[in-house]
Amino acid sequence: MSRARSLARQRALQALYQWELTGQSLGDIEKQFMEIDVDREEDDPQMKGVESGYFSELLHGIPAMLTELDALTAPLLDRPIAQLDPIERVILRIGSFELKQRIDIPYRVVINESVELAKLFGAEQGHKYVNGILDKLSQSLRATEIKAAASRPRR
Q: In sequence order, what are the residues at sequence separation of 6 or more whose Cβ sits closer than 8 angstroms to the Cβ of residue 119? A: 127
pLDDT at residue 151 in the model = 86
> What is the distance between the alpha carbons of residues 152 and 28, in angstroms, rounded to a whole number?
46
Per-residue pLDDT of the chain (155 residues; tens, 9 = 90+): 589 999 999 999 999 999 999 999 999 999 999 886 555 545 446 788 889 999 999 999 999 999 999 999 999 999 999 999 999 999 999 999 999 999 999 999 999 999 999 999 998 999 999 999 999 999 999 999 999 988 887 76
CATH of the domain at 137: 1.10.940.10
pTM here?
0.91
pLDDT at residue 43 in the model = 46
Please give the residue range of the domain that contains residue 123: 65-155
pLDDT at residue 48 in the model = 83
20 and 2 within one domain = yes
Number of domains in the chain: 2
> What is the distance between the alpha carbons of residues 57 and 65, in angstroms, rounded to a whole number?
12
99 and 54 within one domain = no
Sign of CA dihedral 56, 3, 34, 30: positive
pLDDT at residue 76 in the model = 97
pLDDT at residue 2 in the model = 85
71 and 145 within one domain = yes
> What is the distance between the alpha carbons of residues 121 and 76, in angstroms, rounded to a whole number?
22
- Helices marked H in 43-123: 52-64, 66-73, 86-101, 107-121
Last residue of a domain, one of 63, 80, 98: 63
